[in-house]
């Protein structure tokens, strides 16, 4: 089975730091994923944003809390997780209703564009803010020798 997600988006809020019940550092934030398209009937450009909850743990959580703020653009790689909670709803049968929600447990977060303390940092300006070179993220390795032209 494969449970892997890859997404690029902007933080909708500042990361919130905390600890798990086992005293492991945790950070979570909302990631906005924008989808744009052209309406075939009107020719108008449309956009829809899907919000996803991202959870990070350990050193990754520490770095996200330290460097990211609302509006930062990130690449997130992780796995889809679900949580089930019981809610008591009056008049519902059975008395307790199970509610399932989904989130992403991040294994990797690459900082594409950071907004921090009224300043903006990009990879070219200060490489020390990034945990990985992102230049090959979209293009892949340089394999010019394999091109037929």
pLDDT of 88: 74
**How many residues does this entry show for the chain?**
149
Average pLDDT over residues 126-136: 41
pLDDT of 114: 80
Q: Which residue has the higher pLDDT, 139 or 4?
A: 4
Residue pLDDT, tens place only, 34-78: 999 999 999 999 999 999 999 999 999 999 999 999 999 999 999
Q: Which fold has domain 5-38+47-131?
A: OB fold (Dihydrolipoamide Acetyltransferase, E2P) (2.40.50)
Query: What DSSP string describes 41-92?
Result: TT--EEEEEEEEEEEEEHHHHHHHHHH--TT-EEEEEEEEEEEEEEEE-TT-
Residue 87: both structure tokens together = 């809610």
Tell me: pLDDT of 8 over 70: yes
Q: Using CA atoms, how far apart are residues 106 and 24, in angstroms rounded to an integer? A: 15
Tell me: pLDDT of 122 over 80: no
pTM of the entire predicted model: 0.70
Return the residue matching tokens 């307790």: 96
Q: Is the four-CA dihedral 5, 133, 32, 48 of positive or negative sign?
A: negative
Average pLDDT over residues 80-104: 81
Q: What residue segments make up the domains of the chain, in order of their start?
A: 5-38+47-131
Tell me how far the alpha carbon of residue 21 is from its chain's centroid: 23
């Amino acid at each position: 089975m494969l449970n892997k997600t890859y997404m690029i988006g902007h933080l909708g809020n500042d990361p919130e730091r905390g600890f798990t019940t086992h005293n492991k550092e945790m950070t979570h934030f909302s990631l906005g994923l924008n989808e744009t398209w052209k309406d075939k009937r009107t020719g108008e450009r449309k956009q829809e944003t899907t919000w996803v909850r991202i959870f990070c743990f350990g050193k990754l959580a520490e770095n996200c809390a330290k460097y990211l703020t609302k509006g930062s653009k990130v690449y997130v790689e992780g796995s889809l997780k679900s949580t089930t909670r019981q809610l008591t709803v009056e008049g519902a049968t059975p008395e307790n209703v199970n509610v399932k929600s989904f989130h992403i447990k991040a294994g990797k977060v690459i900082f594409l564009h950071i907004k921090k303390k009224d300043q903006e940092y990009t990879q070219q300006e200060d490489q020390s803010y990034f945990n990985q070179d992102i230049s090959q993220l979209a293009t892949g390795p340089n394999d010019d020798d394999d091109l037929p032209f």
